[in-house]
Structures are given as structure tokens and as C-alpha cells.
Structure 1
Amino acid sequence: MGKLNVFTITLNNPQGVYSPGQCLQGHLTLELNEDMKMRGIQLQLHGGARVKWSESCPKGVGKARRTVTKHYVAKDTYFNNELVLFGKATGGDGDTPTLPAGRYTYPFQYQLPPNLPSSFEGTVGRVRYWLKGTILKPWKFDDTTKRAFTVVNLLDLNAEPEAMQGLRGEVQETLCCLCCTSGPISCRFQIDRCGFVPGESIPIKAEIINRSNRKMKRSFAELYMVVTYHAPKKSRTNTKKLGEISHGEILPGESDIWTGDLLPIPPVPPSKLNGCSIIVIDYYVKFCVEPAGPALKLEIPLKVLIGSIPLKSTLEQIGSSPQIQGSDQDHLFQEGAQADAPPIEGMPQPSYAECTFGTVTIQDDYENEHTQGDTNYTPMYTYYNWGNMTQPSAPPQ
């Protein structure tokens, strides 16, 4: 066990979810089995974004042709501060104090900067916020403990004019089979508004008419996230599917109508990732018709807006007043975390759920077995537990 028995960081908000500009409060706990010499104990607070990926590409011609690897990196730093909790900071001169055996608690607080982007963990990039406590020991490896927390920059759909706009698309395709041209396959797809929040479902309305002599294997709608990572002289886009619903086959000469089938939205970060200059998040609903046999799918993508604060008209249409209290609040929100955030005028207190993408490790390459704390981390985002309730549409214009 050694001299160090406990070394942890605890936040006053146990869910660890904060808004930009909020005060981060907590304490660092240290328990020693024996006396320990140290220069001091410090707490580092860091928030930043990073994009990093590599690509192989050919270089040269003829016999001199070879493959080289290019690395693309970009960083944003939003804050990086150190608080001295005991003794002296890194590089301090003078005597090395001894901390006697026992249990110690060091409180801290830090005002988060305004306009921070939401936390995000992606394939080749991230926005991450963390705390790291360090025991600075002379001539020995420093002991560290680490803890991540989530920042959610709330995107209010009521402040986005396009959130109430309906979207529609149409496509028609003629398939060829054994050099014979059949009739066309036509598809119309629409959603009544483009602004939604996690926990809500998107009502899918579509009509497929199969005038061909080919069977359509199925039709389906999928929600997916498109993340664009920016580095100097290069950008990269990654797509991740978040959900799908489908209908069965459509025989030649038949049609199929979708009358509002519900496509759920899981806990995900808000659109745009406001405040971050190197990562952009967009969401799309794509409606597809898949022919049986070799042929390309018919596809109609529509861009939607995923926010954090629902439209007031949405709450009114499902029969809930914007001012929600007591059991009404329990009805709307998923059981789980509630951030210690100031209330939003005319809206219920947000509730949060773990991101659908799961857990990541926050331990960096340069950290080792001397790092304690919970290095597994899952971001949390706003989530509204509307379940399978009838989803409201945009009011008539």
C-alpha cells in the first residue's frame, strides 16, 4: 500500500455537470499511512480541445516512390490553471516540508470561463475538461490523481429561427434490369420541424411508390452525426449512426406510407459545438429505399438541429406547462442527474444522461501507474424522458 492510502478529488456536484461561467467547487482528500516529505500539493484545472490523426500518402516517382505518414494536429486551450493547496508550487525553492501521517481535506473553487464548448469525445478529436491533483516529491515520481467533469453549453432551440421550419425532400429513380428499363421508384420524405432535443423522437413522414418491376427490400430512416475535425491545411469528416427504424418490402406496383413513425434521439452533444473552432457537429435524418438485388439505394438526407432546451411550443403541445414543478417534472425528465445550474426562465431544470457513445479513458500517454482517481469518463448531456408519448409537430404557419 505504501505511504499513500487515499488520494481523490471530489466535486460538490456529484454528477460533475456544469455550465460555462459556473463555479466549480470541491475538495481534494489525502490520507497518509506514514509521514511524507513533499514540496507541495497542487491542483491543475484544464479545459481544451484537441484534434489529431495521421494519413499515409505516396511521395516521389518511379523507384524513389515511397509512402510517408503525415500527422495533423490542432489544439484549443480554454483554461489551464494551477492552485497550490499545500507547500509550494512546481519549482519552488527552500525547505521540503513533511506532512505527518493522517487524513487531510483541501477545499477548492474555480470560476469556469464563459462560452466554453460542450464536452465531446470523438474518434480523432475531443473537448475535455479535467482536474489533476499532484503531490510534488523531491527526487521521486510525483503521485497524481485525476477526475474529468462535463461542461454543457446549452443550445436553446427557442433562439434558433430554423428550429420551427419544416423540411422535405423528393427523389425519383429508374432502375434498369437486363437492359430493360422499368418504371420509376419515387419517394417523398418530410419532417414538420427540424429542432429537437435528446429524449424526443422525430416523427417520420414518407411516401414510396414502386412503379418498377423490382421489389424494394425495405425502406428505413436513420439518424446520424457528422463531425468535422479541422487541422491546419486539412479537415476530416467522420459519420456515426445513432439510430434506425424501418419498414418491410414493397412489391412492384405497390406503395408504402410512413405516417409519423418515431425515430428516437439518444443523449448526444448539441449541434454545432458552439465555442470550439476545430470541431463542428451536425446531425442528419436520412430516409432510404433499398431495392432487392444489385442497385443503389434511394437516399434523401435532411439536416436537423439537436438542442439542449426544448421549444416552448413543444412543451405546450404535449400538454405540459413551461413552468413545471413536482410530479410534472418527474414525468418529463429521465430519472438521473440534475446539474447544479441556474434555472432557465420559463423552462424546467435540465436533467442529464450518459452519452450514447459510452466510456473513454482520460489517462494520457505520459501518465503511469502513479496516477490514481477515476480515469474512466462518460460525458453527460441533457435528456428529456418523453418516452413513446405522441411527438408534437410544428404548429401551422
Structure 2
Amino acid sequence: LIDSFIHSELQHRPTIETEEKEMGNSGSSAVNISVNPSRSNEGFYLAGSTITGSVNVQLKEDVSPEDMNLQVQFKGKEKSHVRYNDNDGDGGTTHRNEYAERNIIEIDLPLGSATGGTNEAMSAGSYSYPYQFQLPDYLPTSMSATDDGGECHVKYKIKAEIKGKKSWRSKDEDVEIYVLAKPPSSEKISYFVQPVTVDIKSCCCFSRGDITFGAAADDTRVGKNESIKVDFGCKNKATTEIKYVEAYVKQYVSWNAGGHSQHTEHHLVKQQFMDTDDMGALTKDQIAQLSSNAENQFASRGIDDLFREIKTMVTEGSNSISLHIPHEAKSSYSGLLINVHHVLKI
């Protein structure tokens, strides 16, 4: 698509506006970039979509074609800056910095000479060149994070550059755009956590019983402003009271440069489940009865039966919460320099 567009674009002269205006950089030529796609998602450009725009060139004097080779480039990078402390040998520490960057994508769109390929000189005035290209659908979302003097970014830019034979005629200007990763399939991916049993002890050795619990999330692939429904089931066979049960989504961002790394983490959302009778503490007599009475229905069952009971509680959804992912959450991403991942914990 890009190659066919370039071929057709070189066959046509640009639109010329004779009205002279002060634009962009000072000097004999000036460049101004105008990116005008149909915007959605609050100013983000969706990966896989097509970007159209124009490069506007203002000339203050006549220019020969060889001095006006115009190019447009789209580039995406991940950048990292790690700030760390290093021993200085005298018992103190020295602040040091490491930097790294990596290209995610680079697309060059040479638009040819400003006269559309002829040998005519360009008269002073304003020239407009349309361009168009498609974003790959694999691009990650634009993002940034900071912590303790370090930072990381995923950034995209559209850059226009005039390369003339004379260095003083070379001009460039760029504009940053914000990319939103292509959303995954809308099909939900649910997840059931197998019940786990935790022995409760006091003074590290005296048993106070055990607690068995399980949970399920209706979807593990969610986006900003979407919600996760979490169901919970529990059997408390201990003399210890459960004060509360809480679920939260935690975001982890890490980046590296020069063999060093930094990270930041914080809770995106959290909420408590309601208390139920099954979460209440038992007395010592009740614990003893469960352990010794072979005819007791609950005690006579195996661990598989207990797990099935917990699973039934979870699937019935009698104790559930909804965790709403806020707009400021970052998209999950695994790059060479930057990693963003999220964990649901109970």
C-alpha cells in the first residue's frame, strides 16, 4: 500500500498556494507539518489504521529542485533512562545514569523533489504535499513512566525533512502522535483459580485449623474503562477470624539500560468482598468435633469434595465484586527495554 501510494504521488505536482506566510523555521525555507487524520479514542491513532496528512513548505525565495528533496518519516521508539547509585570507593555513593533506546518501527516515505520531478525552479510561495501510510497492527500503545529520577517511554513521531545540497537549506520538523494498541478479540478469557488450603498456626507450631478458598475472574483480557467480575468462595475451619477479603489489580512497569533496571508499581483498583457465614471463625469445640466425628458429613468427605463445594460457591456467584480498570492504566507490553504487566490478587 505504501509503495503504490508513493508511485502515484510522484506523478503529480503539489498543490501551490501563492499567498506568502511566515511558517516554521526561519531562513530561506520553512517546514510545517500538519497531521489531519480522522481522530478517535481521545486523540489516539489506532494501530492498523491509516494516517493521512500534509507537509506544508513555505519558500521565501526561488529554489532549484536539487535543493528541495522532501522526505516524510514515521518512527516509533522505546527509550529508557535508569538512575542508580554506585559506590565511589570512599564509603559514599555516586549517582549514575544509563540510557538506551530501540526502534520499534521506521517507515520512510520519500515524496521526491518539491517540483514533482521536473527541472523547474520553485517560485517563492506556499506548497502543500499530502501523504498517507498505514500503521502496522502490532504497534504497542504510547506510554511513559517515571520513578526515582529514571524514566521510560514508548513514543511515535512523524518527521518531515528537506535535504538540500547546501547545508543551510536543510530543514526538519516533527510532531509526536499517540498510538493506541489494537484491541484483542472481544471474546472473554475466564480463569478459575483452583482452591487452596492454608494451615493457620499460632506461635509457628500450634494448629488453629485451616482456611480453604478459591476464586474466578470472568475475563483476564480487559482494557481501560472495562471491568472484571471476580467471584469468591471460602470455608473457614479455623478459630481465627477473617477480618476481610480483598481483591485488587496491581500494575508493574519495569525498564532497563546498560545492565541496570528500575521499576514502579501501584494498585489500579481494589475492593473487598462481603462477609459470609462460611468465613466466620469456629470454636475449638467445633474444630474438635469436625476432626473426631466420622459421621459428620463435612469431615467424612475428601479434599476433592471440599474443593467441589468451593467451586460451586464460586460459580454460583453469591459473593462477587466488579473491579473497574481506570483510564490511566497502561497497556500490557513486553519489549526489549520496557515491560508492563498486571496481576489480579486476592
Q: TM class, shorter-chain normalised?
A: 0.5 to 0.7
CA displacement at 1:149 relative to structure 2: 3.2
1:150 partnered with 2:175: no
Counterpart for residue 28 of structure 1 = 55
1:4 counterpart SS class: coil
Offset of 1:44 from its aligned partner? 3.0
Could you report, residue by residue, the CA deviation over 1:24-71 in whole angstroms, capped at 9, with x for unpaired residues? 3222345x5x836785454332112122211113242xxx33323343
Q: CA deviation at 1:261?
A: 1.1
Distance 1:97 1:69, change over 3 A: farther
Q: Which amino acid aligns with 2:129?
A: Y
1:260: which partner in 2?
320
- What per-residue deviation string (whole Å, max 9, x for no partner) do you get for residues 291-346 of structure 1? xxxxxxxxxxxxxxxxxxxxxxxxxxxxxxxxxxxxxxxxxxxxxxxxxxxxxxxx
**Aligned partner letter, 1:127:** V
Q: 1 or 2, which has the higher helix percentage? A: 2
Q: Distance in 1 between matches of 2:241 and 2:201?
A: 8
The C-alpha deviation readout for 1:242-280, integer Å capped at 9, x for no partner, is: 1122358999x937x971111112355554x26x33323
Which of residues 22, 25, 31 is equivalent to 1:3? 22
- Partners of 2:76 and 2:156 within 8 A in 1: yes
Decide whether aligned partners of structure 1 residues 98 and 80 sit closer, same or farther in structure 2, where only a CA change above 3 A counts.
farther
CA contact (8 A) 1:168 1:190 kept: yes
Partners of 1:215 and 1:78 lie apart in 2 by 48
2:336 corresponds to which letter in structure 1? Answer: S
Query: For the structure 1 residues 53 and 232, does the alpha-carbon distance in structure 2 shift closer, same or farther, using more than 3 Å as the test?
Result: closer
Count of residues in Structure 1 that have an aligned counterpart in Structure 2: 263
Q: Which has the higher mean CA deviation after the structures are superposed, 207-216 or 8-17?
A: 207-216
Counterparts of 1:17 and 1:211 in 2: how far apart (Å)?
Answer: 54
The amino acid of 2:100's aligned partner reads: A
When residues 185 and 231 of structure 1 are mapped into structure 2, their CA distance, relative to the original with a 3 A threshold, is: farther
Q: 1:241 to 1:140 in 2, by over 3 A?
A: farther
Match of 2:343 in 1: 284
Aligned-pair distance for 1:131? 1.0
AA in 2 matched with 1:264:
H
Q: Which one of 217, 234, 245 corresponds to residue 271 of structure 2?
A: 245
Matches within 5 A, 1:224-235: 224-235=250-261
Are the aligned partners of 2:210 and 2:237 in contact in 1 as well (CA < 8 Å)?
A: yes
**Of residues 228, 234, 238 in structure 2, which corresponds to 1:202?**
228
Corresponding position of 1:222: 248
Inter-partner Cα distance in structure 1 for 2:320 and 2:273: 12
Unaligned residue ranges in structure 1 (runs of 5+): 89-95, 288-397
Aligned residue among 5, 14, 19 for 2:47: 19
Q: State percent identity of aligned pairs.
A: 17
TM-score by length of 1: 0.52
Q: Which amino acid aligns with 2:47?
A: S
Alignment of 1:378-393 (within 5 A): none
> Match for 2:72 among 33, 43, 65?
43
Q: What secondary structure does 1:150 align onto?
A: strand
Q: State the alpha-carbon separation in 1 of the partners of residues 124 and 227 from structure 2.
A: 56
When normalised by structure 2's length, the TM-score is 0.58
Matched, 1:73 2:133: no
